[in-house]
Amino acid sequence: MEPTVYGIPNCDTVKKARAWLDAQGIAYRFHDFKKAGVPPERLAAWVRELGWEPLLNRQGTTWRKLDPTVQAQAADQDGATRLMLAQPSVIKRPVVEWPGRTSVGFQPAVWQNWIAER
């Protein structure tokens, strides 16, 4: 099974991740948050596996542009999940579904270890 990369194509981190996967010869599917949105069932699975906090990108431009009252509503799992569904750009990228596990962010050393395990 090939991994699925979730993100936004013009995101620099997503570009680096995809280039790394290409360089490793790893076939993957790409899910564009801008075009296809965030699948609610996938977000729920990521939250169950990883927790909501690693998924919520509080460092990005989208977060910084949000009204403070909207930011405050993302202080718990339910509020953060609603925000991530409404504004996919606040999800830390890329989210990669590997066979049997999920990662958030570009982690080439971790990914290389996972590939070696297969």
Catalytic residue among 3, 7, 11, 56: 11
Look up 11 and say whether it is catalytic: yes
Question: Using N-to-C axis directions, what is the helix angle for 77-86 and 40-50, rounded to 10°?
Answer: 140
Task: Calculate ∠ Cα 64-37-50, nearest 5°.
Answer: 70
Rg (CA), the chain: 14
Active site residues: 11
